[in-house]
Amino acid sequence: MTRYILRRLLSAIPVLLGISVIVFAIMAMIPGDPATAILGSYATPENVAALNEDLGLDKPLVQQYFIWLGNMLQGDFGRSFALNRPVLDEVLERFNATLVLAGTSFVFCSVLGIMAGVVSAANQYGAADKAITFVVLLGISIPSFFLGMMMILTFAVNLRWFPASGMWPIYGDRDIWALLDHLVMPAFALSVVATGVIARLSRSAMLEVLRQDFIRTARAKGVPERGVIWRHALRAAMVSIIPVLGIQAGFVLSGAVYIEVVFQWPGIGRMLVDAILRRDILLVQGGVVIVAACYVFFNIVVDVAQSLLDPRIKT
């Protein structure tokens, strides 16, 4: 097992390099002079030239890439011009908030999605199945940012159940209850689409499994139907559900951008949008690389979970 994890970690290295190349290539697409883009069109030629040299932008692209990569590996992602602080500090601080939000959403959509899918499959074409199918359809069709706005209107403004925005109360203690109070609505809004997708997939994976011979064996043994569904069928269906959880984690992580904007959550998504609008290129670059790297790492976790769950996978 340890060797398998090590091998998976090693195989992530080319992917991470690829990601850095892609991000670098995209940033190299910036039309015109990057230094002008950073400094704005009112910059003096001297300033532009100085920044170009400062950033190493007067060197060939390949050399620039390796300098950039080397700096990143040493933890130097450059400085944010607008915030005047190291990119890494800002990104890590913001990423924490995003992880709280996306992590909660991910747990929520996994549990609820799988349960809904199982109940739906177990009652195929029944009332519960139809109700779940309809709610799921609604869920995967509603834009999360619109849902978030409607939730603020209903539950924060009209019913006053939850605060409308932010991560912490402006006054008062920053304890776990205050956090939860602020977390409920954005986490829910963020999880809705993923819940729907996971529920759909779980339903079809369950239906596929329920026709297998070993389900008939379980029934022939006299295993109660609840055990047949939740122990035998779900366990086998998890093998095809887990990879989708990995994909959905990526969607939740990136969908957080909208939710963070709507709910004023101080996460990395909102930071990226602000940075783009301010043309704070280095901040965007650093943020994208770090989030993508985290996602790659998370996919390794998913693979390891998969191999723990399915003894047939050679590790």
Partner 1 sequence: MRAFLGLLARNRLALAGLIVMALVVFFALITPLLPLPDPDVTNTSNRFVPPFSEGALLGTDHLGRDLLSRLMWGTRLSLAVGFAAALIAATIGAAIGIIAGYYGGRTDNIIMRGVDMLMAFPYILLALAIVAALGPGLLNALIAVAAVNIPFFARNIRGITVGIANKEFVDAARLSGMSDARIILTEILPNVIPVIVIAMSTTVGWMILETAGLSFLGLGSQPPQADLGSMLGEARSALITNPHTSIVPGMMILVIVMAINLLGDGVRDALDPRLKSGALNRPLPATLVARDRKPVEPKREGILTLTDLETQFRVKDRVYRAVGGVTLGVRPGECLGIIGESGSGKSVTALSVMGLVASPPGIVTGGSVHLEGEDLIGAPYRRLRTLRGRKVAYIFQDPLATLHPLYRIGDQLIEAISAHRAISGAEGRAKAIELLEAVRIPNAASRIDNYPHELSGGMRQRVGIAMALANDPEVIIADEPTTALDVTVQAQILSLLDDLRRERGLAIVFITHDFGVVGQLCDRVAVMYAGRIVEEGPTRDILDTPRHPYTARLMACVPELGGGRRRLEAIPGLPPAVNDLPPGCAFAERCTRVQPDCRKGDIALEPSGARAVRCLHPVPEQEAAE
In 3D, which of 307, 309, 239 has the Cα closest to residue 8? Answer: 307
Tell me the residue type at 53: E
Residues 23-52: x where in contact with partner 1 by CB under 8 A, - otherwise, as a string: x--xx-xxx---------------------
The residue among 23 and 112 lying less far from partner 1, judged by its C-beta, is 23
DSSP designation for 32: S
Q: How far apart are CA 156 and CA 153, in angstroms?
A: 6
The residue among 14 and 174 lying less far from partner 1, judged by its C-beta, is 14
If one asks whether residue 2 binds partner 1 (CB under 8 A), the answer comes out as: no
Q: How far apart are CA 207 and CA 229, in angstroms?
A: 10
Task: Enter the tokens of residue 199.
Answer: 């529920």
The residue among 175 and 310 lying less far from partner 1, judged by its C-beta, is 310
Interface residue with partner 1, options 109, 119, 218, 244 (CB under 8 A): 218
Q: Which stretch binds partner 1 (CB under 8 A): 53-61, 77-85, 90-98, 222-230?
A: 222-230
If one asks whether residue 295 binds partner 1 (CB under 8 A), the answer comes out as: yes
CB-based burial label for 179 (10 Å; 0-12, 13-18, 19+): middle
The residue among 201 and 288 lying less far from partner 1, judged by its C-beta, is 288
The residue among 54 and 310 lying less far from partner 1, judged by its C-beta, is 310
If one asks whether residue 69 binds partner 1 (CB under 8 A), the answer comes out as: no
If one asks whether residue 220 binds partner 1 (CB under 8 A), the answer comes out as: yes
Q: How far apart are CA 84 and CA 51, in angstroms?
A: 15
Interface residue with partner 1, options 67, 111, 137, 301 (CB under 8 A): 137
Q: Enumerate residues 231-250 that contact partner 1 by CB under 8 A.
A: 232, 235-236, 239, 250
If one asks whether residue 109 binds partner 1 (CB under 8 A), the answer comes out as: no
Q: Enumerate residues 265-284 that contact partner 1 by CB under 8 A.
A: 272-273, 275-277, 279, 281, 284
CB of 220 to partner 1, least distance (A): 4
The residue among 180 and 221 lying less far from partner 1, judged by its C-beta, is 221
What is the SS3 string spanning 210-274?
Answer: HCCHHHHHHHHHCCCHHHHHHHHHHHHHHHHHHHHHHHHHHHHHHHHHHHHHHCCCCCHHHHHHH
If one asks whether residue 185 binds partner 1 (CB under 8 A), the answer comes out as: no
Which residues, 6+ apart, have CB-to-CB distance to 237 below 8 Å? 118, 202, 205, 206, 208, 209
